[in-house]
Structures are given as C-alpha cells and as structure tokens.
Structure 1
Amino acid sequence: MLTSDLIVRRLSEWGVTRIFGYSGDGNNALMGALQRAGTPEFVQARHEESAAFMAVGHAKYGGGVGVVTATQGPGAIHLLNGLYDAKSDSAPVVAIVGQQQTDTLGSGYQQEVDLHTLFQDVAVGFAQQLASPTQVPLAIDRAFRQALAHRGPAVVIVPQDVQEAEAAEPGQEHGHMPSSPVSTAPEVRPAEADLDRAAEALSPSRRLTILVGQGAANAWPQVEALAERRGAAVAASLLGKPHVDERAPYVAGTMGHLGTPESAVVLQECDALLIVGSDDPWTEYYPPPGSVPAVQIDIDPVKLGNRHPVDVGIAGDAAASLEGLLARLPEAEDRGWRERTVQAVDAGRRVAEARAAVEAAPGRVNPEAVFHEWNGRLDDDALVALDVGSSVYWYARQLRRGPVGGAHLSSTLASMGCSVPYGIAAKLLHPGRPLVAFTGDGALQMLGINELITVSRLWPGWEDPRFVLVVLTNGDLAEVSWEQREMEGQPRFDRSQDLPGFDAAAYARQLGLAGLTVTHPAQLGGAIEEALAAGRPAVVDVRTDPQIPLLPPLYQDRAKLEGIREAIGREDAERRSHALHLLDQYAGIELRLLGLEDDA
C-alpha cells in the first residue's frame, strides 16, 4: 500500500464520499489510489477554482467537510479563490494538494511554488507540507478537526515522492504521533450570568429588532417565539435570509446596501438590537453606535462585538441562548412596534411588487420581475444557488421563502462564478431535489459556461433532472456600473463594463440541455414551466435591462440619488434618458410607498 492509498483510506474513515478536483502530475498518485479504491467518488471540474467552489458548496448544502484536490503550482494557486470563499463564509473544507518531489524544492524547479507560504493566510489553523509517510494519518485527522472546529479550509500538501512511497502507520516510538479520525462539536451553553445581563438590557425595550445570521440556521422556532413575545421585528443578513420565514408579516427581509427598505426602517427605528449568529459587515445599516442597547449571540466568542458595539455578548448556541432569553424576558404589553413593523413590511412588499412591474426597454425584461415570477414556484425542498452581481440584489428583495435553508452564494468574499459549481455540488448531494441557479451573464462567462459542460456530463445520474440555470443577460457588468455611478460619481465606463454577446440558450442546446430565451415579461411564466418540465437541465436566458437601478434603501442613503443622477447625466444621450427615467420611477416608488416624500 502506498501513502496515497493511506490518504484515500483515511478520507473514507472520515466519511468522505466525494472529492472534487482536477488531476496533474502533482496528484497523479492520489488519482491512482482513488481508482484502486473505487471510493470516494472523484468529480472532475473544468477548472480548479470551480472544484474549490464545489467543495464549498458541498459543505454549505449540508454534506459535511468538502474535499478538493489539485496538482502543484498553477493548480494549487487556482484553488485559492474557492478556499477564501470557505474561510469568509465559515464552510469546512480540506484541500489535498500535490507538490514537486522534496529533493527538488528550493531549486526553482518547474511548477515549484512555496505552497506552505501560499496557503498560510487562507488556512484556518492548519496548512501542513508532509515530509514522510508516517505523517499522513495525523495530518489528515488534524486537517479535518481544524476545518470542523474553525469552520473554514485546512490544507495538506503532499509531495509526489511522499505520495508514491510505501505507506507507514506511526508507531509508539519516540517522535511518532498516532491519531484517530474522530471529531465532535461541543455543546456550547450560554453562561447564566450573560443571559441575566442580556435580559436586563433588553427588558425595557419597546421596539426590539432581531438581526438573524447563518449562525441561527436551526433556531427559527426560538427566534419566532421571542419575536412574538416581545412584539419584535426581524431582519436578516444575506447569509441569514434562508433561515427566517420571510412570509411572516414582521420579517423585514435582508439588511444592507442590497437589502430591503423595510429592513432599514426596523434597524433605524428600533430602541434595542439583538444580533443572533450574524457577522454582517454592512455597518452603516446598523443603528448608530451606542444609540440603543445591543446584545449579540454567537457560538464563536471572537465574533462578539465585531461589527457593532454591544452591551452584552453571549457565547453560545443560538437556539439554547434564545431559550434562555425566552425564560427571562417578559411579554411586551405595548404592541405599537409590531404595528409599525407590519406597516413597514407591507409597504416594502408593495415597493418590491411595484418595482417588478416597472416596464423595461423594448425587447428587455425587468430583472426584478424574473425573481418575482419565481415566488410561489419553488417548493420547500427546492435548492437555490446564487451568483454574485446584480442578481443578489433581486434575490434579496424579491424571493421570499420559509426558513428552509438550501440557498447559498459566495456572500462575504462575493466572488463571481460560484453559482453553477455550487449547484453541481448541491445536486450531487441531493439528486432527488430540484435546483434553480441564478447568474448574470458576466458570471456565466467567467466560470459558468465551463461548468455547464460538467452539468451535461453528470445530469443523467440524477434522480430528479431539474437543474434550471436562469441567466440575466444584459451585456453589462451591471453591479459595477451602478457602483461607478453611486460610489465614485463617475459615468459608466463602457470599455470596462460592456460584455461580449453570448447566446446561452443556444450553447445549452449544443450541450444537449434545454435552452430557452425570454425577451418579454409575458414569456417568463411559460419559460419557467417549460424549463421545469424539460426532463433535463435547462438554461433560461432572460434578456434583461441593464438600466434597472441598483439603489440602496433610500431610507438610509437618499442623498446619493443626486450624485447618481449627475453621473448618468454625463453618459450618452440614448442611455441617459432611459436610465434617468427608470431612476426617477424607482426612487419615487420607494419614497411614495414608505411615506418619505417630504424627506426626499
């Protein structure tokens, strides 16, 4: 048995059933071991970056530790983006990376890169280059334990000669380190004294807002109970969105620049804030620092007070901590805040509906209408994968579901190109469930085109073939175009923002998938139904209008409107007229329905 065989055996002992990656001379011995063992399954991506995203998706969609492998040099470097995604969004991933032979290291050999240094920043506590076969069990075990304990990537670098050497289990002699493939999550109970202090801080509140993040993934019943008892409003971070019931009349949706206006209302008007499992970086959308009592619950004490000053930090499991608060907080007698919250949420939903109905340019569709059309068409078991770009805005503001989880994107790193790799990982984990992925044409051209080839290869093995990729094709890197106008006060820079034309539907048909094109909002419903009934994966290429505004909630930052308007005013006449018309429509809808005209 070779060391590579021992690696594969150890991965199986950790319960690994699937490894994503790409082969090369640096990990060929590992490929041979996988072939000999027959398990775990090897999933070949079209690019190592995609393979890393697949491993992250595997972890995020509930598969446990995601595992990815790559060769040395360029293959290893390509992993970095996906591994940083895992680190940023707290997803456990282990990378098994090849390296040149140990006796060549330091000579500037072909494809030689100092991988240990390369991975030091991204690894959460463990990046180890092996020098002998006896290190293998300990290194694999520590990598998994670190990835699970610290919720991020760990890296094991294995030179070719070590992979090809005869396997050797560590003994009991001096200098050998036996290890076991075991790990368990601790039950982190909140301290009673912290719960007492938190209850004391929150009890006087009459306008409590609860901000929910992904750390509350299994705590919706407790969040709901506390919100009912205190008449509280609920807002969510982008990562927390899948874990709240957005159908509830007091749930104000996603906070932040890409969030809903009603979330800005409940965060700016509250008199106390409870943060549950969130580390959301949109600090300008929190209440002003020190203006209201704030309590934060997080299983990781490092996160306490990280984004917003808090009076009390509770290190503990979200559900257990909320149960402790429920036992200590009295029921609110004044329901005026609940009435205000319901009013704001109702107004915000009318804003979303009105904006989705705004007419786009001829031959184009309002992208908000695309997501609005999917409301009610996604069963609770449907999986969702999101790419980064303007599609995230429309997802955050238009798609409302229960606390079903199963919707993921590269949130904190915000890396384009993740949706199709994420979707592949989700379907491999849950082949009997439908999946819908949303992407812009920029992200599609970056990585999605390549990984659709992988979809065409894998889908015949899926129990449920429904894999619908919705492409918002507008020929523009739209989010950045609007950032240029809003953040920099610059007109759109055509040379940096224009995208080449690409017929995604025709490309899908070339791959043997279904391909549909939508150029009018009246076609949306029929195209969605046809895609879901196609009996194979489908690409729905929706030609959307790039001039639909990406505005922050105006309740927070209405002053930027004039700067945006001035920047658009320096663009070409045809685009300027249409963009300004849409900008005025969008701003007017929000100001009117939120009753803010007098403040405009």
Structure 2
Amino acid sequence: MAKTVGDFILERVQGWGVNRLFGYPGDGIGGLVAALGRNDDLEFVQARHEESAAFMACAHAKFTGEVGVCAATSGPGAIHLLNGLYDAKLDHQPVVAIVGQQSRSALGGNYQQEVDLQTLFKDVAGDYVETCMAPSQARHLIDRAFRIAKSRRTVTCVIFPNDVQEAKAVEEAPHAHGTVHTSQAYSEATVLPQEVDLERAADVLNAGKKVGILIGAGALGAADEVTKVADLLGAGVAKALLGKAALPDDLPFVTGSIGLLGTEPSDWMMQHCDTLLMVGSRFPYSEFLPETGQARGVQIDLDPTMLSIRYPMEVALAGDSARTLKALIPRLKRKEDRSWRGEIEQRIARWWREEEERAMKDAKPVNPERVFWELSSRLPENAIITADSGSSANWFARALKIRPGMKASLSGTLATMCPGLPYAAAAKFAYPDRVPIAFVGDGAMQMLGVTDLITVSKYWRDWLDPRFVVCVLSNGDLNQVTWELRAMANSPKVPKTQDVPPMSFAHYAELLGLKGITVETPEQVGPAWDAALRADRPCLIDAHVDPDTPSLPPHISFSQAGSYAEALVKGDPDESGILTQTFKRVFS
C-alpha cells in the first residue's frame, strides 16, 4: 500500500535518532497506530495511562540525554499527557508529544472529543505547538519540533488530525512559493563565556578563603571538572536534588543534598562561606543560600535567562558546565590553606556517622530512613534510582549514597506525585542490563503506581536482566503533606484527608506474577533487599514504615518550630508518636 502520513511520521521520528515511543492508543491516532503495525524497527511501549507515558518520555530524556517521545489520542488522551509534560518542561527536558485530533472537516463543529488542543498545549509546549493541516506540513513540523526540543531543552507538540494521518504521505513539499523545506541536520552548539568574564570569575574565586560550590542537574557529565575545581579551591560541594548523581557521595568533600531535604554539612557550608560557585543549578530556596552580601558569587548556567536569579551574583557565566569549568581551571590558583576544606570534611564524616545512627533508631514498626540506609551498601553497580515526591524524596536525598556510574532522578521543579515507577520503567527500557530501583509512597502507589506495575508485568520477560525493584513506603498516611501541615500551616494532621486505605502491595505484585516481600520489622529490611536484588523477576518490597518519623530540616526556623508546637497544642492524633520520634532525633 502507499505510504501514509502515519508511516512518514514514524520514519521521520526515527531519523532523529528515536527508537522508542511511549503512549496509549486511541482512534484519534488510528493512522499512527496502523503505521506502528507496519513498522518493526520502532519500539512502542504501551503505558497504562497517558500521564505515565509522558513521565516515561521525560525520564528517557533525563537518563539518556536523548529526546523523549510520547503519543496520545485526541481529547481525553491529550489532556492526560499534561502532568507528565509539565514535569519535563519544568525540569528542562527535551520531549516531543505527538497528539491526535478529530478530522479537519469536523473541527469547529462541537464534535465528539473535539478539544482546542492548540490552546490546551499553549503553555506546556509554548515554544512550539502546531497542527498539521496538510500532508506536506508533516516533514517540517516534525523536524522543527525535534530541533526546538533539543536546542531549548523543552517540550514541543505536533497535533495530527486523524484524516491527515491516514492520507497519502508527501515526502517533500513542491518547490514553490509558500512552502517550507527542512532537513534533519543538527549539531549542538558549544557555549562558552567570553575570556574577559572567565578572568573576572577566576579573580573572585581566587580571592575567596571559604568557597562553597553548589551543583545541579546541569553538572551531570561534569564530574571530573567539578572535582578538579573543588580541589583547587579547597571547597566543599553541595548538590541540589536533581544533581544527586552528578558527584558520588563517597568523595570526602561532597556535603550531600541542600535545602529542606538537605544535610547539616551543606547547610553549614552555605551559612559560613565567603564565596559561592553555582554550577548548572536553579536551586530556588534562598533561605538555604548565603545571606545577601555574605558571599561573592559566580554562577555557570547554559541558559542565560536563569543567571543571577537565585543569588545576586557578581559574575554570571553563560555556558556549558563542563566546558566552562575546563576553561576556568587554568585560571584558578590552588589554595594552600586547607583549613576550610578540612572543617567541611570533618562535618561530612560526622554527618554520615550520625546518619547511620538515625537510620538504626527504633520506630513503629520500621524506621523509613533505615530502608534507604540498608540499601546503600547493597546498591548494584550502575544502578538507576528513582523516587516519588513526598517523604520518599526526603530519605532519597539524605540516606542514599550514590557511587560512580549510577543514575538518579525524580520530579524536581514540579514535584508531582507518581513519576517514581514510570521513571524506573523508562530507565529499564533504555538500559535493560541495569537495575532500576523505585521508591514510592503508598499514596502515589495507589494513585497511579498500581497501574504502572501492570506495565512492568507486561514487559519484564523481554529484559536482558529481569531485576527491577519497587519499594513502597506503606505508612497509611499522605506523609509529606501531613508534616507540612504541622510545620507550615499550624495544623495537626487531618485524618479524613490524610489517611490512606490499607492495601497489601506485595500480594498485589504476586497476583501480577512478580515477587512480593512484606517488611514489618527492622530485622527484615536487609534480607528483603538481598532477596529483591537476586530475584529472577521484578520485585516489590512493601515496607511498613513509621509515619511519625520526622525528616527534620538542617536548620529549623522560628516559624516552623512555632507551627509545629501549635499543631501539637491543638491535638494531633499522632502526638505521642511524633514527640517520641522527634525527641530521639534531636536529643539522643
């Protein structure tokens, strides 16, 4: 049969280096689905929900550096994509959404599932959202969507009415006025600051006696350069959440995470440094950065619009992190006084000792921090760790020690529920020989995770290494929101909004043909990880953890302390448990 626009779309997408498409079928993309049936080279991953497909596309971009692609039908399918696409947009990941639409002749007729998709996607795909109204447009719309997504690290969207998908393909528009002719030629630009600005940055950094470095996702791939700069400057390195895998945690100068979920050494370093170097981070919480005027600042970011927006920098360098640091290194002078670095390293060593002590404290029934701590020493080489938003992100940030070669991510800026499991699934499709480990709260697991586990059960037999681990933190509580009520809203827990109904996730996993393990005592934690990591199939650990174990910030403000106290005075239903656990962490 003649090639259709649906066939052409898939071939054009493959020409951009794509070998995997995440989505869910529907008649709005019937032409595309039919073309997938004729295409043996492009893998289609059928998610259980379009939101999960968009999360998978975002994670594919995060873990591979490639463009993630997702597809959905018209109307409700397109609407379901939005949350996952916003996750990609806010974390600056290149994702292309291919979306169906009703036939051109029906548009404007209040037809079934007719939604104004151009308006719907105007924000999330604001850099490029277009509707293909003629087969001759398909070529340049796909090319521009990919080029813009890659170059601006953002979300783009192309909408295809279903009658266009089924029409005869036009390889190239006629050579005439009013036509557009594109190719797939593309190369990444090398972005480097000007020499004079590098010199200015070096002068600031060389003058500092107490240099603190903060890195984010933009420093992924710049580990060697960051390490060299930190050594020359005698600096410690803190990590924003999306930069957790940018440097391994076993380096003695890595202070760990920063912010509400951060470590004491990171907080201390920011409070006492006289010079701040930010590399590839848009960390937004100013209360965890130096006071204005305390430190001279230098920032490196690929996006000039994000320079000097979090701290009033003295020198702002627009450039790729690795290349810019490499150009900066010859201009830096090694600091002979290493007392600042020595103090930081002592604090880091003490932090990890105390972290183990905190993780091993008793709780009812299991200390959630122990679940993460016990995994650290057992992590397989090149593991890929994901976490959902909520209290699982807290322990992910603090208690897990990342080693070289590992990858780790979560929803950073959007901080949405439910990406933990689809992120891990996308990682497994991209790296079938590696072990993904997803941490998910029971609230997120019930919201979307149970369906994503079905996706895992559908595909796991095709994976080179069948190991895939999901750890559910079952505490019967929407725990992060509960603690935010206490610490920020002057309110005790509200059970009718916060309680999560009980569910045996391990038994559910077994029903799907996977391995399920229930953990109800501290002594079961280590053996559960051992069993999960040697299983012959994906495994779910249902860890029954204590909802009253607080994730205390590195410093507690007066307003937080006051809100917490007021919440208890008002009569929190878990008052006894949270007082006991807080006392253990603060005073013992």
Map Cα deviations across residues 5-60 of structure 1 (whole Å, 9 max, x no partner): 11111112112111110111100110001111223111111100001111111111
- What SS does structure 2 have at the residue aligned with 1:480? helix
Paired residue for 1:233? 236
* d(CA) in 1 for partners of 2:174, 2:289: 55
* d(CA) in 2 for partners of 1:89, 1:404: 22
Determine if contact 2:383/2:406 at 8 Å carries over to the other structure: no
* d(CA) in 2 for partners of 1:381, 1:510: 30
* d(CA) in 1 for partners of 2:320, 2:169: 41
Paired residue for 1:60? 62
Paired residue for 1:570? 570
Which stretches in structure 1 are left out of the alignment for 5+ residues?
590-600
Map Cα deviations across residues 544-585 of structure 1 (whole Å, 9 max, x no partner): 00000122112x536623431331343356x21121111122
Map Cα deviations across residues 184-222 of structure 1 (whole Å, 9 max, x no partner): 111112211111111112221110001011111111111
The amino acid of 1:262's aligned partner reads: P
* d(CA) in 1 for partners of 2:211, 2:587: 29
The Cα of 1:182 is off from its aligned counterpart by: 2.5
Determine if contact 1:128/1:157 at 8 Å carries over to the other structure: yes
Q: How does 1:402-551 map to 2 (within 5 A)?
A: 402-551=403-552
Q: How does 1:30-429 map to 2 (within 5 A)?
A: 30-62=32-64, 64-168=66-170, 169-361=172-364, 364-429=365-430
Paired residue for 1:596? none
* d(CA) in 2 for partners of 1:492, 1:5: 54
* d(CA) in 2 for partners of 1:417, 1:271: 40
Map Cα deviations across residues 217-253 of structure 1 (whole Å, 9 max, x no partner): 1111111111111111110100111111211121110
The amino acid of 2:396's aligned partner reads: Y
* d(CA) in 1 for partners of 2:554, 2:280: 23
- What SS does structure 1 have at the residue aligned with 2:331? coil
The amino acid of 1:385's aligned partner reads: T
Determine if contact 1:96/1:155 at 8 Å carries over to the other structure: yes
* d(CA) in 1 for partners of 2:72, 2:577: 48
Paired residue for 1:594? none
Paired-residue identity, %? 48
- CA shift in 2, pair 1:63/1:236, >3 Å: closer
- What SS does structure 2 have at the residue aligned with 1:273? strand
4+ runs deviating over 6 angstroms: none
Determine if contact 1:214/1:277 at 8 Å carries over to the other structure: yes
The Cα of 1:63 is off from its aligned counterpart by: 5.7
The amino acid of 2:109's aligned partner reads: S
* d(CA) in 2 for partners of 1:159, 1:403: 46
The amino acid of 1:336's aligned partner reads: S
The TM-score normalised by the length of structure 1 is: 0.95
- CA shift in 2, pair 1:25/1:32, >3 Å: same
Determine if contact 1:190/1:320 at 8 Å carries over to the other structure: no
- What SS does structure 2 have at the residue aligned with 1:171? coil
* d(CA) in 1 for partners of 2:572, 2:432: 48
Map Cα deviations across residues 59-86 of structure 1 (whole Å, 9 max, x no partner): 1110611111001111000000010011
Map Cα deviations across residues 375-430 of structure 1 (whole Å, 9 max, x no partner): 11113311112111101110111001234341111111111111111111111111
The Cα of 1:254 is off from its aligned counterpart by: 0.5
Map Cα deviations across residues 428-477 of structure 1 (whole Å, 9 max, x no partner): 11111111111110111111100101100100000101101011100000
- What SS does structure 2 have at the residue aligned with 1:239? helix
Map Cα deviations across residues 105-143 of structure 1 (whole Å, 9 max, x no partner): 122211111100111111151100111000000000000
* d(CA) in 2 for partners of 1:559, 1:269: 22
Determine if contact 1:14/1:182 at 8 Å carries over to the other structure: no
Determine if contact 1:124/1:152 at 8 Å carries over to the other structure: no
* d(CA) in 2 for partners of 1:443, 1:583: 25
Paired residue for 1:598? none
* d(CA) in 2 for partners of 1:525, 1:304: 44
Query: How many pairs were matched up?
Result: 585
Paired residue for 2:557? 557
The amino acid of 2:49's aligned partner reads: H
Matched, 1:581 2:580: yes
Which stretches in structure 2 are left out of the alignment for 5+ residues?
none
The amino acid of 1:167's aligned partner reads: A
* d(CA) in 2 for partners of 1:205, 1:408: 32
- What SS does structure 2 have at the residue aligned with 1:333? coil
* d(CA) in 2 for partners of 1:248, 1:37: 47
* Greater Cα shift, 509-518 or 32-41: 32-41
- What SS does structure 2 have at the residue aligned with 1:203? helix
